[in-house]
Structure 1
Amino acid sequence: MTSAILTDIEGTTSSISFVRDVLFPYARRALPGFVAGHGQDPEVRRWLDAVAVEIGGACQDQLIVETLQGWIDQDRKHSALKALQGMVWEAGYRNADFTAPIYRDAAEALQRWHDLELPLYVYSSGSVPAQKLFFGHSDAGDLTGLFSGWYDTEVGGKRDPASYTRIAGSIGVAPHSILFLSDVVEELDAARAAGLHTVLVDRPEDYPHPRLEDAAHGHTRVTGFQEIALPR
């Protein structure tokens, strides 16, 4: 029986293109001004210093910003970058520069599962603050109240089975009672290795070439949340 649902965001509840075409370019443009204005704030400084250590020690903020912009271009999954992007995006959301698009079938299913008192959790490579901003400023309204918890790569990499074991322990349920939803086969492989049930979300909007048979690695495949049947 399913005791909890754990979901990815990009390519699962929402389009891949929004992050790539809207959020990443916005952060790249806004970072210089953000660091200039907030670089001495303790939480911002903490992450800037973490980047400085990685690239060789004490350096000018301009070099740190250029490094971060390079990481954005590379789509690097780095905790410092994710945290700083989240702070930049917060201003964009609050200024209504953009809203986060949620697939209608996903929003409806999440609401339905919440109404059934099924706990919902997010696990994304984006930072937890960024996740909350995303669902808090979506085109379906503020959906943050649907979720019972949030996880990012601070708990571990999404392709590492140990991360899913830690999440199950944090939630307080057996791994086999969690259903994990993602568009990334390798993440699903890791979750399955930890004992979770898995569903590959293979949306034609994001993946024009369906991932069938061997490409799905044996995971249940759906093209939208309306097709998801909860394991019993």
Structure 2
Amino acid sequence: MIKFSGRGLLLDIEGTTASVAFVYDVMFPFVRRELDAYLQAAWKTPALEPVLRYIAQDAGADTFAAWTQDDATEQAKQQRVSAEITRLMDNDIKATGLKQLQGLIWKSGFDSGELVAAVFDDVPPALVRWNEAGKDVRIYSSGSVAAQKMFFGHTNHGDLLASFRGHYDTTTGPKKEAASYRVIASDYGCDASEILFLSDIVAELDAAREAGMQTGLCYRVGNAPVENGNGHPGIESFDQVSIG
């Protein structure tokens, strides 16, 4: 049991509010299946242009034009993007460009109803309890803010978006660096010690704790085994967070 009397709760998604299996077995394969068709359909659109810039910068180039200067055709540029996105996904690299593009592709799946986010059953009632207690609940995930909003707007428990007052992704900073959590605490407008961060990744919790936040390690069904929790209090359900 974690007893929390602070101001805000900051939540991870994968392995914390939703199962790892849904992300890896449903959402990621959807991106792989739709990637090339999406790039072809969205090429040269305003929505895709900033994402391509992120992808190029993640690859070490200043601009998308510089990154694709050796590609003679638009098709060749699309193939370069597709190959890079596939490489990033194969290696589970949480690059900003990748996450932004995934969000754009997932939108079509959520809009059509093919994708329905599977959150754990204890999450919706916990969100109600925390909000009724006046807590400021927000999300910090490597997935883009746009993808987060689509995810929680289309869950197996309905639209949960109203439960959250803020969203953060890798544009705020890497999840395993303390500086990112300091930025988030500043955005909350309170001392970091007034925020409880819940995640299934010890390295993320280490960074949050270094920044001054309270932490909780989520042991969810389907998560990878944790050999060393590094002193972070563990929970198996959000029911085990007691609000004071």
Once the two structures are TM-superposed, the CA of residue 52 in structure 1 deviates from its matched residue by 4.0
Match of 2:234 in 1: 221
Q: Choose from 98, 115, 118 the match for 1:101.
A: 118
Query: Which of 135, 153, 164 matches 1:147?
Result: 164
Report the 3-state secondary structure (helix = DSSP H, G, I; strand = E; otherwise coil) of the residue aligned with 1:101.
coil
Deviates more, 1:109-118 or 1:170-179: 109-118
Could you list the per-position Cα deviations for residues 144-194 of structure 1 after superposition, in whole angstroms to 9, with x for gaps in the alignment?
Answer: 000000000111111101111000001101100000000001111110111
SS at match of 1:216: coil
Distance 2:151 2:113 in 1: 12
1:4/1:49 Cα in 2 relative to 1: closer, same or farther (>3 Å)?
Answer: closer
Question: Residue 113 of structure 1 is aligned with which of 130, 135, 140?
Answer: 130
Question: Contact 2:21 / 2:222 at 8 angstroms: preserved in 1?
Answer: no
The residue aligned with 2:153 is 136
Rounded Cα–Cα distance in structure 2 between residues aligned with 1:46 and 1:163:
22
Cα distance in 1 for residues equivalent to 2:159 and 2:91: 31
Partner residue, 1:45: 49
Mark the CA change 1:197 to 1:49 in structure 2 (over 3 Å): closer, same or farther.
closer
Q: Which secondary structure state, in structure 1, belongs to the residue aligned with residue 139 of structure 2?
A: strand
Q: Structure 2 vs 1, CA of residues 70 and 174 (structure 1 numbering), >3 Å: closer, same or farther?
A: same
Distance in 2 (CA, whole Å) between partners of 1:50 and 1:13 is 27
Aligned residue identity for 1:100:
A
For the 8 Å contact 2:153–2:159, the answer to whether it is kept is yes
Residues 115, 31 of structure 1: alpha-carbon distance in 2 compared, 3 angstrom cutoff: same
SS in 1 for 2:24: helix
Distance in 1, Cα, partners of 2:122 & 2:234: 15
Checking the alignment, whether the CA contact within 8 Å between 2:17 and 2:120 is kept in structure 1 is: yes
Q: Quickly say closer, same or farther: Cα 1:174–1:50, change in 2 above 3 A.
A: closer
SS of residue in 1 equivalent to 2:242: coil
CA distance in 2, matches of 1:79, 1:176: 28
1:229 is paired with a residue of what secondary structure? strand
Q: TM-score, normalised by structure 2?
A: 0.89
**When the two structures are aligned, how many residues end up with a matched partner?**
227
Any unmatched runs of 5+ in structure 1?
A: none
Normalized per residue, the structure richer in helix is 1
Counterpart residue identity of residue 79, structure 2: Q
Q: Answer with 43-52 or 16-25: which moved more.
A: 43-52
Which has the higher relative contact order, 1 or 2, with Cα contacts under 8 A spaced 6 or more apart? 2
Please state if 1:20 is matched with 2:37: no
Q: Matched residues, percent identical?
A: 38
2: CA distance, partners of 1:83 / 1:50: 8
Question: Residues of 2 paired with 1:55 and 1:159: CA distance?
Answer: 21
Helix, strand or coil for the counterpart of 1:199? strand
CA-to-partner distance for each residue in 1:121-152, whole Å, 9 max, x for gaps? Answer: 00000000000011000001000000000000
Answer yes or no: is the 8 Å Cα contact 2:19–2:221 preserved in 1: no
Structure 2 CA distance for aligned equivalents of residues 229 and 160 of structure 1:
27
2:192 is the alignment partner of 1:175: yes
